[in-house]
Chains A and B, each alone.
Chain A
């Protein structure tokens, strides 16, 4: 590649701080490329967002910028230039000099990336020492204090002497930020640094990143699967799919008028706070490295695919001002077709005034001396979808498990069809166990890895009794079809499936006994956005087809607009606001809800900015 695509021509800037050309990373023992033909540049003080879903190779690119490849991978081509330094041609020794001083890295999971056996002060100091950034120990101490202030951490000696496990997740990530900016590098690679954090903490960390990058004129590569986060942070955006950059351009323009079919579908899959819109997922799954088709890797899932798409890999081509896309039909596409789901939500309203199918009364639950759920009452009508929203620590999952009989509550009761239920599932009648089903958060943990899909989905039928094996197998085939999985999948083991497929299997297991209520506990939080959208689509369709009531538990506020009739907001073990979805999202009454909405990163019509959170990363106590 000779051109450095899409660098915005904002006049007056010096040359780019970073120029990446034709980067290629392969699997170490053959088996093809992980990423290829990756080219971009970043100006000093600019944040380039690198977006992509699982397996797109975005982290591989980020690490290659530091001259690093993980076990099993090898950088085999291209160049990375930071100023005058050609990173990929450095010796190990020279690389050590560059890493941490000229190019630094902010990890995804600081809880794992900070050494548990060393104090945070030691870990900060050793970067300065390794790069001889400070003349004396005293100067280093001063620098550490300064660094901590910059990332809004208390710079007291007691804090510096803490171990990583003594900090909150947000504080750990800010330590990592301080470390990355310590030697005033020219390039910082941020690898999903806010993924594990609550929205409020996340908003603050993002504000810190932006401030640091701007004030020190550092070029930043911000890697994320979350376009909404990138929208508020990055000036420009590159989207990766199957190891290639498929589209690059100014962030606002790219999100408002995506050119590449994949980007368009991806944008359509993002839940928005601004209204009850149906989400549309992307059918199929992304090809794994080594398993990619010739030609355009998106072709098997692309509605616009033509014969020539399957033979030759299209090149990045200009589609607008400093806007490139890797698709010859990029400009031709119109709006994304949203399919028949668009009209479904409108027809779905819970019948008013019917008796609730499931209700919980004054549930209190916790562990020994700690009460996590402090008297929560909620009721769900037949066919209704109620979203229960709260940040981690709010007690929402404990509440859901108490309803399902997995976590006996200290007091309060659960009624199904008006009948009170025993505290533990084992003591509930089979009919109650049949009519209420639970779908777990993490499809990688909720399916027994040693069983086939048929055995997993058929388990409720075996346990709850009734029917022959043939009848059970027929029923399993039926629900697999309901969740849009091909029949052949019944013979597979969970490890052969993608995350989205696994979650569909988990939903099929919940559906197989024809329940009346589904408790969905963060069922999309472990999934990519496009897969999340597809699961939400599926749940919406199932509601319409089967008249299911759903308790949809999530931390993701924008998501509820696309699925729920009513929303209950939970904080500190209590429900602080309940109401119709539209009302709560548009006119929240509790201050906590307002703050939650304000700090949720969202794709506004023009890529709204993220407000800085004034607090210290803790949600405020709920208003009484």
Chain B
């Protein structure tokens, strides 16, 4: 510009905020994200606080089986004569905790594998992806069923099995998102400076893949909740007679015609929970898509 004068500061845009955080804030401004978060918060609160406000012990037999609402049992009793309301209030914790743990483990492992595969390229990439293909050849619920077939369900087996089905799917998405990033020149610029590989992966590649990874993470949480609940519904909860929404639905399904509450309450809770996480994921996806659109200069 050879001294012809700098452009005045007037055209300078307002100093930006960190891009990832900016997108999350944009996501929070979307109505669907807010509804999703509200649902998730509501049901988490229900699962956490529920056991403390339940009128009865979830395992106490308080009236005749499948009796209708009464003063003692406001929503009636289940097929064994236990209080439906108390079992409902106590039944969310097991599903939520197990699903959160499984999704978290799977996402962490998957992100690490996906980033390594994308950055290494070549033989290591191929090897990692082939191994993941083997796990992907199992429908998600199958792996868990096979894992519990011999020894029966325990919380740790359930978490591990669901995490193992989650990781390859997250790894694929992460790798897909990282592949266009690792060939960009800012990664080459870091390589030319001699930055160690792991630091390039973490500080240069990972931030640019955050959008798809977060979206996938919420999607996987949704599916983990569904899987854990489905397993309980199939009679494969860690505690076969414990209070658990999935177990409740299974046990009370036969008495639907006379006592619907035992099914309707937990099924509504699970539906709202998965709808909530789904809405959050969609909100994040939209916000990041908007961020990427905004990157093209107008």
Contact = CB atoms under 8 A, between A and B. Distances in A.
Contact of B191 (A426, A445, A495): A426
User: Which of B4, B8, B15, B16 has the largest count of A CB atoms less than 10 A from its CB?
Assistant: B4
A463 B193 contact: yes
A446 interface: yes
A493 B19 contact: yes
B233 to A, nearest CB: 42
Contact of A404 (B11, B184, B192, B207): B192
Contacts of B193: 425, 433, 459-460, 463-464
Contacts of A428: 194
A277 B255 CA distance: 92
Interface in A282-322: 283-285, 288-290, 300-301, 303
Contact of A339 (B4, B11, B189, B195): B4
Interface in B21-35: none
B12 interface: yes
A281 interface: yes
User: Which of B2, B15, B207 has the largest count of A CB atoms less than 10 A from its CB?
Assistant: B2
Contacts of B4: 283, 303, 339
A405 B207 CA distance: 25
Contacts of B67: none
A300 B2 CA distance: 17
A445 B185 contact: yes
A303 B4 CA distance: 9
Interface stretch (B104-112, B124-132, B244-252, B290-298): B290-298
A448 B186 contact: yes
A495 B186 contact: no
Contacts of A285: 7, 11
A428 B210 CA distance: 32
Contact of A486 (B3, B7, B20, B210): B7
A430 B208 contact: no
A406 B191 contact: yes
A448 B207 contact: yes
Chain A's interface: helix, strand, loop or mixed, by majority?
loop
A494 to B, nearest CB: 8
Contacts of B5: 283
Interface stretch (A199-207, A220-228, A434-442): A434-442
A491 interface: yes
A290 B190 CA distance: 37
B41 to A, nearest CB: 29
Nearest to B195: A463
Chain A interface residue number, banded: 35 or more
Contacts of B294: 495
Given A404-B192, A406-B192, A498-B297, A446 B184 contact: yes
B137 interface: no
A301 B194 CA distance: 41
A446 B297 contact: no
A217 interface: no
Interface in A395-427: 401, 404-406, 425-426
B134 interface: no
Contact of B6 (A440, A442, A486): A486
Contacts of A300: 7-8
A447 B186 contact: yes
B16 A493 contact: yes
A440 B13 contact: no
A471 to B, nearest CB: 18
B9 interface: yes
A441 B185 contact: yes
A280 interface: yes
B183 to A, nearest CB: 9
A109 B204 CA distance: 31
B190 A459 contact: yes
A433 B192 contact: yes
A430 B194 contact: yes
Interface in B162-190: 184-186, 188-190
A381 interface: no
Contacts of B186: 445-448, 456
5 contacts: A340-B2, A440-B188, A450-B210, A463-B194, A492-B13
Given A488-B9, A491-B15, A492-B15, 16 more contacts: A281-B2, A288-B297, A339-B4, A341-B2, A433-B193, A442-B185, A445-B184, A445-B185, A448-B186, A452-B16, A463-B193, A464-B193, A486-B6, A486-B12, A489-B12, A534-B1
Interface of A: 54-55, 280-281, 283-285, 288-290, 300-301, 303, 339-341, 401, 404-406, 425-426, 428, 430, 433, 437-438, 440-442, 445-452, 456, 459-460, 463-464, 484, 486, 488-489, 491-493, 495-499, 509, 534, 537-538, 541
